């Protein structure tokens, strides 16, 4: 199939308007679990990127909290992480000043006395740097420590200082089913008001995700056709080539449905399907997202399929390489029933989307690393060129498709039919109009946490999950998880590493006359 690529010229897009930047008040950022990879590879590089562009206050401090006695080595290690993961020059003149603001406090998360020492240390740092009472507590720990840390912060008076704003950022997973999510919400809200709680999903920090709303609501040509009258189907794919990468114990408890579909993919779904909000204030955007999830009826178990990868081959820059199956991965049960692939068909019972199927899939060890949203439009009522038998070498005329590439190769493409230059026939081939982020705006070293950390310091919850939303999505998927737990799969592993997943996922669409997009 011939495809013509048309790149958007960056000439008129290279000048991004500046101004109206919001800068937080002086703040101490406290990161629990600071010795983990997330802090070194994502959080500290993101904070330094904010410092580079002048979006951090002059007076701020970062305090890492973990069990190991790292001392001054912590700041040195974080500096190395900023250089390596943040694509920063070692000689950057801002690095030294930034590193001096990094502190470390060793303590066990279950040690009540340790929180007295932490509070005193934060007060000492605040007084020495003129910071005041603003605190951002970031829980980058395993989920079993969430409630312990939250409740200790409350019992030691760090949830509501006398002066300043206090916010708590909680990493996913936020619960592992509906009951656990409700219990966690209850215990968190017993200490922190909901306005103080920031449940983070790093997908929402991606520019490409935020651009879904801009694409829909800032362009008059798309919104009129963004409904059941014109759209045939929607597909959302979150595909990884990686395996569990040493995280066997975590993944054994999670699986693809919990790890990716219930949170990341459902957030993408809400942005695609939501109604225009009254404004882009936090409450308006969140309200429209909730309406989408509320309109999704219970998902029949026959509309959910699972898979687990076996041995296979993965292609990378060095060529093809053999990789083990999931059950052969480090610290994974050799008889594991955990799914590494999940696909779901659901519908949204509202005026805009009634009758339009949404197909969601996520998996590990697939053929390519790709996260995208694909909106396929209905065919015209009269396929004149097919009727005339004149589509030529290009085959049958293909439907129009808008594809939003979340990662990698971030961008948006529109597929439509065009006449092939020839005097012999009316041959029609699909071509792509392609917008490429890197070509238009330049390659960015940002990792998505910049926007989220900045918003959390500012108290803007727009791009964070709220209590009701978390519980609504868990309510949709908990029955599926329970059904899967009750009936162990007999066919695992059922797809080879390096493939596009199990056959049952293809059958899920074939019964509707559809196919998964070829990526």
Q: Measure the CA–CA gap between 143 and 145, rounded to whole angstroms.
A: 5
- The SS3 assignment for 414 reads strand
Nearest by Cα to 205 from 46, 52, 85, 25: 46
CA atoms within 13 A on the CB side of 31: 23
Q: How far apart are CA 218 and CA 244, in angstroms?
A: 39
| Catalytic residue list contains 167 | no
The answer to whether the beta carbons of residues 243 and 336 sit under 8 Å apart is no
Tokens standing for 63?
């305090």
Residue 202: CB atoms within 10 Å: 19
Specify the pairing of strand 60-66 against strand 102-106.
parallel
What distance lies between CA 281 and its chain's CA centroid?
21
Q: Which residue has the tokens 């990662």?
A: 407
DSSP states of 107-134: --TT-HHHHHHHHHHHHHHHHHHT--S-
CA distance 458 to 25: 8
CB atoms within 10 A of CB 459: 16
Q: How far apart are CA 226 and CA 224, in angstroms?
A: 6
Q: What is the DSSP pairing of strand 5-7 with strand 309-310?
A: unpaired
The helix (run of H) or strand (run of E) holding residue 401 is strand 401-407
Residues marked as catalytic: 264
């Amino acid at each position: 199939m011939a495809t013509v690529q048309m790149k958007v010229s960056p000439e008129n897009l290279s000048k991004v308007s500046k101004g109206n930047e919001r800068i937080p008040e002086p703040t101490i950022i406290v990161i629990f679990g600071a010795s983990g990879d997330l802090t070194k590879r994502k959080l500290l590089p993101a904070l330094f990127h904010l410092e580079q562009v002048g979006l951090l206050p002059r007076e701020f401090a970062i305090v890492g909290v973990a069990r190991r006695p790292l001392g001054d080595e912590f700041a040195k290690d974080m500096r190395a992480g900023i250089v390596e993961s943040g694509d920063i020059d070692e000689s950057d003149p801002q690095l030294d000043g930034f590193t001096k603001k990094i502190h470390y406090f060793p303590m066990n998360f279950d040690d009540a006395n340790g929180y007295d020492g932490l509070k005193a240390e934060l007060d000492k740092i605040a007084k020495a740097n003129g910071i005041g009472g603003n605190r951002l507590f970031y829980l980058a720990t395993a989920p079993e420590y969430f409630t312990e840390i939250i409740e200790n912060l409350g019992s030691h008076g760090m949830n509501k200082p006398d002066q300043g704003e206090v916010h708590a950022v909680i990493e996913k997973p936020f619960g592992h089913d509906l009951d656990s999510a409700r219990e966690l919400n209850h215990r968190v809200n017993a200490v922190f008001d909901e306005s103080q709680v920031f449940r983070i999903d790093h997908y929402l920090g991606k520019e490409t995700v935020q651009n879904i709303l801009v694409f829909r609501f800032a362009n008059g040509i798309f919104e009129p056709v963004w409904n059941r009258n014109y759209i045939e189907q929607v597909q959302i794919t979150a595909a990884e080539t990686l395996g569990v990468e040493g995280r066997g114990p975590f993944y054994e408890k999670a699986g693809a449905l919990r790890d990716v579909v219930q949170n990341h993919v459902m957030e993408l779904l809400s942005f695609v399907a939501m109604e225009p909000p009254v404004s882009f204030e936090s409450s308006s955007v969140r309200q429209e997202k909730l309406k989408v999830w509320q309109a999704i009826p219970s998902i029949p178990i026959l509309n959910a399929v699972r898979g687990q990868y076996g041995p296979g081959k993965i292609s990378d820059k060095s060529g093809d390489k053999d990789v083990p199956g999931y059950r052969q991965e480090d610290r994974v049960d050799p008889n594991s029933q955990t799914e590494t692939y999940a696909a779901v068909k659901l519908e949204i019972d509202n005026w805009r989307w009634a009758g339009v199927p949404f197909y969601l899939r996520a998996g590990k060890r697939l053929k390519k690393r790709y996260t995208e949203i694909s909106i396929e439009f209905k065919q015209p009522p009269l396929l004149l060129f097919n009727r005339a038998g004149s589509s030529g070498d290009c085959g049958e005329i293909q439907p129009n498709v808008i594809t939003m590439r979340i990662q990698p190769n971030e961008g948006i493409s529109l597929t439509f039919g065009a006449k092939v230059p020839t005097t012999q026939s009316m041959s029609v081939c699909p071509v792509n109009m392609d917008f490429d982020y890197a070509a238009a705006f330049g390659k960015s070293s940002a990792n998505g946490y910049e926007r989220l950390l900045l918003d959390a310091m500012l108290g803007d919850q727009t791009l964070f999950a709220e209590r009701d939303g978390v519980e609504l999505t868990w309510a949709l998927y908990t029955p599926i998880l329970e059904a899967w737990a009750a009936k162990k799969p007999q066919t695992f592993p059922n797809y080879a590493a390096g493939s596009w997943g199990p056959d049952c996922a293809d059958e899920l669409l074939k019964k509707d006359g559809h196919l998964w997009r070829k990526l």
